Amino acid sequence: MWLQVSLFSLSCLLLSIQTQAQDRASLHRSNEPSGRCHYTFTVASPQESSCPGSNREMDGVLSRLTLLEALVSRLLAGVDKGTMTGVGANREEGLQEAYSQVTGERNQLQQDKERLNRQIQELQRRLAELSQEAESLRQKPCQHTLTSVGTQHENRPTGLPAVNCPQICISLPDPTYDFGNSGYQEMKAEVTEISASHLFHDRSHNFTGCGELVSVGDPVSHRKADSITGKYGAWMQDPEPQGPQYTNNTVWRIDAVRRDVRHLFAYEDMDQFTRGFPMKVLVLPEPVESTGATVYRGSLYYQRRRSRTLIRYDLASEYLASRMDLPHAGFHGQHPYSWGGYTDIDLAVDEQGLWAIYSTSKARGAIVISQLNPESLEVKKTWETNIKKNTVANAFMVCGRLYTVASYTVPNTTINFVFDTATGVVQAVSVPFKNKYSYNSMVDYNHAQRKLYAWDNFHMVTYDIRLGRASHGRS
């Protein structure tokens, strides 16, 4: 504001000087050839023919003008300097504020780091306590129950109610899962609670002959798959083994979640299966489709991938013994069970032999049952039902009867239909059945063990079953 007033005063002064000069003299300004400004004054005087002395007044005006120009220059320089000083101050203030913010964030991160370190130490302490507890449980014998499966504790009084006792099971992942690093195993300790009541049989129901399915027990888990390839699959034991190399104790397993399923794991017995120690891995000559495989009389029977071809693979010689197309059978998603999984052809075994459960376009998706020759795989006889295959979750054969499971996900579902191949009659039933892990992709019957084998969401489980005499007198 002060600069503006000074400039206005300077303008007024120059105007005043010019007015006064016009009364006595005229001022002329021109450029010299050298580029300098040249001022010329003309004085009209009738008494003097020339200037008797120097133009002191004009010199004074010029001096004052020079001083005023210098003053204006200094004022302008001061304004610019003040402006720059303000900008520098603002910048310095912004830097100080940013530094304070960064310092605060660094302190907060340091506090978070210390808190996380304390949590890690606490978790490590709890892990050490759990490991010590597991070790003490492993060394401590069970009191008033069974020291091992099938052996009664000598101190258990007669008639004492069965109680639960923790049993330590050490499981190791199958070394064959990672074929590139087969020498590495990671040990894990699992505590499984086993009810002693499962080890005693009700003698009042000790019916050994063929009959109708009366009840299915609770599932008993034997192993959980360690990777996504074990989401669903097939596992079984041979009810009628044929040679000394493999017995009815041998456990067979196929993980079905792969593009090219060819590996068949063999375990010496159920204990080695539970621990995850396969004694052998067989590579099959043709890839497997889904979870419908079964083992019977020393051979593995399965459906070849993306085809209706059935294959019999001799386990002792590790040779493809026979193959045969199942006539008109749907395959690769044409007529699966309700859970999908390309379960179009399901092979099953019971007291009467080898069966195929499937459907055809002629049957319009209804279940078709064929009894097969176990050597040649030729169809011996076929039955058509009115049970839509895609409305049931799974099926199995017991004593020549087909049983279907209503749901593969509902925890408490039922066995809802039975078809008797002796009479050709379908009957609705309601036998309770549990899907403990809510994704049951395989159910098969073993008549030697009188158990159902199932694959329920990574878990390989068995069910005890009870049969009763057939109502129509069939034996």
Question: Is residue 103 included in any domain, yes or no?
Answer: no
Whole-number pLDDT of residue 124: 81
Question: Is residue 147 included in any domain, yes or no?
Answer: no
Whole-number pLDDT of residue 119: 78
Number of other residues whose CB lies within 10 A of the CB of residue 462: 19
- Is 303's pLDDT higher than 60? yes
- Is 450's pLDDT higher than 70? yes
What's the average model confidence in pLDDT over 16-27? Answer: 54
Domain range for residue 442?
212-468
- Is 71's pLDDT higher than 50? yes
The count of residues in the chain is 475
- Is 85's pLDDT higher than 90? no
Question: Is residue 223 included in any domain, yes or no?
Answer: yes
427: domain CATH number is 2.120.10
- The per-residue pLDDT for range 98-111, each reduced to its tens digit, is 777 778 777 877 88
Question: Is residue 464 included in any domain, yes or no?
Answer: yes
Question: Is residue 242 included in any domain, yes or no?
Answer: yes
Question: Is residue 205 included in any domain, yes or no?
Answer: no
Please give the residue that has the higher pLDDT: either 171 or 272: 272
Whole-number pLDDT of residue 475: 40
- Closest-CA residue to 253 (of 472, 114, 453): 453
Question: Is residue 249 included in any domain, yes or no?
Answer: yes
Burial of 347 (0-12, 13-18, 19+ CB in 10 A): buried
Please give the residue that has the higher pLDDT: either 62 or 187: 62
Whole-number pLDDT of residue 28: 67
168 in Cβ contact with 189 (< 8 Å)? yes
- Is 18's pLDDT higher than 50? yes
- The per-residue pLDDT for range 136-187, each reduced to its tens digit, is 676 655 443 333 333 343 344 444 444 444 443 433 444 443 444 433 333 3
Whole-number pLDDT of residue 200: 38
Q: How many domains does the chain have?
A: 1
- Is 73's pLDDT higher than 80? no
Mean pLDDT of the chain: 79
For the chain, the distance separating the N- and C-terminal CA atoms, rounded to the nearest angstrom, is: 120
Question: Is residue 85 included in any domain, yes or no?
Answer: no
343 in Cβ contact with 327 (< 8 Å)? no
- Is 81's pLDDT higher than 60? no
